[in-house]
Structure formats: structure tokens, C-alpha cells
Amino acid sequence: MLKTIDILLGVSVVMLIASMAVTVLTQLITDLANTRGKHLSRGLGDLLRQIDPSLSREMAEQVSRAVLTHPMISHVGQRLGATIHREEFTKLLLDIASGQTPRDSKNRLSDSARQILANMLEKNGIEDPAATLENVRAYALQLELSHPELATNVRHNVALLQEANSRLVAKINGWFDQTIDRVSERFTATTRLITVACSVVVVATV
């Protein structure tokens, strides 16, 4: 009886160690490969092409990478950011189109690419991205003074709806959540494949 208990305890310890090893390996690989950021970049590129179907996939990917490597979004070392909120995405499009990105950004859009982005915004109701962005910031500041109880994302969302009310904001607000859902599904599927591969490696090693 005691021998059986010893065997069960030994098997449990081995399974626990193996599961921890698989978890650590999976996390390490996903972080090194920046899979979450890559899936998010693809999703935002698809969203941009939904906003303007004439936009090429290459151009959409350039813009999405410029957004996700922005200093306020990216990870260390210009890696693609893994998280972005709807209001952040909208404001960064305006920011990049108006040429207000940091000069030392490695993935800063070229003048021609920035002009294509500005044309896309103009077709969707934003004729002057810089002025629109300034109005949004000013209105958000007014809301902070008059309604300090509001959450930051609520203030910026209201400011965008008030000062940047356009087809651009309507399309982003209408498709952003669904896009992030698809990104999460693709990332989950990729992570499962990596987990299976890591499990095989750990079992073979043991």
C-alpha cells in the first residue's frame, strides 16, 4: 500500500514539474517570437483595409507596425506592442498622419506612406488630422476639469465622438472589438500549437 502511494506521489511530482516546464517554454517562445504583437499587427492591418478597401496590404502593414512600435505602445527594443485600446488606435492614426511621431522612431512612416494615410483619413472625414487631434485633446481636458469622476478612456472616447465625429471613427468603433476578438482567437490557436510542441519536447527529454 505504501509503495503504491509512493509511486502515485512520484508520478504527481513528475507531472507537476513537466507541466511547469511546458508552461515556461511556451511563455518563453511566445515572448521571443512576439506572436501576440504579430497577430495584433495583422488584425489592425485588416481593420485598416476594412476602413479603406483600396489600401494595399503592404501599406496597411506599414501603418499597423508604425502604430504598434510607437513609444507609447511598443515593448522594449521597438518590438510590436501586444495591447492597444480603441481610443489609442484612433488617436495614433491622427498623430502619425500629421507627422507628429518621434524623429528617432525606427518604423516611422515615409513621407509618401504618411501621405497615403492622410488621404485615407480625408476620404473618411478627417481633413486636418493635426487640428482634429488638438481639438480632441482640448475637449478631453475640459471633460477632466468638469467631470473628474469620469474614467480616462471614457473622457477620450467622448472627446473623439465630439471633435472627430466622422466615418473614420464610426468604422473603427464599429469594427475594432470584432477585430480584437479574431486576434485573440488566432493567438490562442498559435499558443496551443506551441504548447503541444513543447509538451512533445519535454516528454521526449524525460
Predicted pLDDT at 192: 92
User: Residue 105: pLDDT above 70?
Assistant: no
The model's pLDDT over 8-18, given as tens digits with 9 standing for 90+, comes to 777 777 778 87
Instruction: Categorize the per-residue pLDDT at 64 as very low, low, confident or very high, splitting at 50, 70 and 90.
Output: very high
User: Residue 52: pLDDT above 80?
Assistant: yes
User: Residue 144: pLDDT above 80?
Assistant: yes
Parse the chain into domains and list their residue ranges: 35-178
How many Å is the maximal CA-CA distance in the chain?
A: 80
Average pLDDT, the chain: 88
31, 38, 44, 69 from 76: Cα distances, Å: 12, 15, 20, 10
Instruction: Categorize the per-residue pLDDT at 103 as very low, low, confident or very high, splitting at 50, 70 and 90.
Output: low
The pTM (predicted TM-score) of the whole model is 0.86
Predicted pLDDT at 15: 79
The model's pLDDT over 171-199, given as tens digits with 9 standing for 90+, comes to 999 999 999 999 999 999 999 999 989 88
Average pLDDT over residues 56-83: 86
Instruction: Categorize the per-residue pLDDT at 200 as very low, low, confident or very high, splitting at 50, 70 and 90.
Output: confident
Give the DSSP H/E element, type plus range, for residue 60: helix 57-68
Among positive and negative, which fits the CA dihedral 153, 77, 68, 38? negative
Average pLDDT over residues 33-50: 93
Instruction: Categorize the per-residue pLDDT at 35 as very low, low, confident or very high, splitting at 50, 70 and 90.
Output: very high
